[in-house]
Amino acid sequence: MQTTKNTHNTLKKLFGIITAGAFAIAPLASVVTPAEAAPFVLAADNDRNRDVRTIEGVVVNDTAGREFNMRQSNGQRITVRVQGGKPRRLSTGDRVRVTGFFRRNDNNIFRADSVRILDNQNNSNSNVHTVEGIVVNDSAGREFNLRRTNGQRIRVVVNGREPKRLSVGDRVRVTGSFRRNDADVFRADTVQILDNQNSNTSRTFNGRVTDVESDQRFNMVSDGKTYNVTASSRLPRRLEEGDTVRVYGRRSGDNDIVNATVVVTRNTGNNNNNNNNNNNRDTFIGRVTDVQSNQRFDILVNGTTYNVTTSSRLPRDLDKGDNVRVVGRRTGDNDIVNATVTGIQGNNTEGTFIGRVTEIRSSQRFDVLVNGKTYNVTTTSRLPRDLNKGDSVRIYGRRTGDNDIVEARVTGVADGNSNGNSSSLRTFIGRVTDVESDKRFDMVSGGQTYNVTVSSRLSRRLKRGDMVRVFGARSGDNNITNATVSITNNR
């Protein structure tokens, strides 16, 4: 009996100890549990830039796990790592808003505390989208590339048939859906052409000339937009920068007006009386002595240095020492403006050389002085019998090395014994004032009248009032000899 009583007392004491221990442990457990419940947040705090922000963009790649790639509204692509878990319905093409912070020292990794889907591509209620933009490339088959109004380029795959009159530059509206996991491919059920560039409908544009590129092309500003205009015939001779014009033509693409007729409604008259050569575009052939900018350079022509201003950017391969042909309008004593550059002739290139014969070495070889430099010329056939030392010649051949011209043909020989400026072989552009015979006529070029003697019979259709291009040697003050003639505008 006594033993039973002792056993009971022992169990009672043990129960009291266990109970007391349980109450002692309970407060400790309440302290540890929150820390164990959020180990990810503590780890994130160690990496936190402490610059919490909200950004929006489009999901471009939904990777496995808790990450996806997003393109922000500014175009930057970032990787988003979601602290908890991604929304189950998140998919490529969704427009989302994420709140969080960038990883320390890395603006390409964004840790998101929350992700909100603003436009879900896989939602059955919003799967169909309407997109507008400009066609930038019309591929073969049922596909074309579209530049959206937000600047994004997408590939459009038409489920049915592509409209027959669809072309590059058209503004279109497409209805359909983005391909799953690819926000750059759009499957279109319908394609509506809002503005077709191949339409034969012409319209009138009023604007101001900003640049004259050639005798058939110029740039103009109309309603705040710059257009490149290609005329259906030669531009009015008096057209120049600053003029106000009325253009009737067909718009092609975003910035082109083609097959246009041009009427000058207000002429600035900036160059009307500056120089006799102002209204004539002449050809100058010489050597580049200095390249000053992407639209200006110096050229040495027959001992005179001109400063050339071009109507567009210079060719990338233009370099000091190159021989070039320049077509432009001479103004003042040493300026050529509104010029185009052709026939760049560097090393190992074909081109035209104009110079004076310094030595005849054989029936197929001679030396020529071009812009102060002597070249040894080898022709493909026998030299002309009348070629002599001192003659001015025009040579077409291939430059090789520093001083050799090979595979050459000799055209345009001017007798070095003639009086006056015999070495001045050049191109003259002007208007015929009188036809004297089948080998002689008078023309006005740059305000000066010349008597032209050609090397062969004149064309029967040449008559007074025709515009011509003459290549020959100037002799004396008013004579052009041994000339070739091209009719540029027949009256």
- Give the pLDDT means over successive 10-residue stretches in the chain (491 positions): 56 58 49 39 46 87 84 86 82 85 87 84 60 82 84 85 78 84 82 70 80 86 84 81 84 76 73 45 81 86 84 77 82 82 60 84 89 86 81 80 80 56 65 89 87 82 85 79 78 64
Please answer whether residues 36 and 84 qualify as being in contact, where contact means their C-beta atoms are separated by less than 8 angstroms: no
3-class secondary structure, 431: strand
Longest dimension (CA), the chain: 162
- Number of neighbouring beta carbons within 10 Å of residue 163: 15
pLDDT at site 2: 54
Block residue for tokens 């010489």: 286
pLDDT at site 421: 39
pLDDT at site 35: 37
Q: What is the pTM of this model?
A: 0.24
**Kind plus residue range of the DSSP H or E element containing 41:** helix 39-47
pLDDT, tens digit, 9 for 90 and up, residues 406-457: 888 886 666 655 443 334 567 788 889 999 888 899 998 877 888 998 877 8
Distance from C-alpha of 86 to C-alpha of 112, rounded to nearest angstrom: 10
Distance from C-alpha of 366 to C-alpha of 368, rounded to nearest angstrom: 7
For residue 15, what are its two tokens? 């129960």
Among residues 446, 454, 467, the alpha carbon closest in space to that of 282 is found at 446
pLDDT, tens digit, 9 for 90 and up, residues 188-244: 888 888 876 555 556 778 888 988 888 888 989 887 788 888 888 888 877 888 888
pLDDT at site 12: 60
Which residues contact residue 325 at a Cβ distance below 8 angstroms, ignoring those fewer than 6 apart? 283, 284, 285, 341, 342, 343, 352
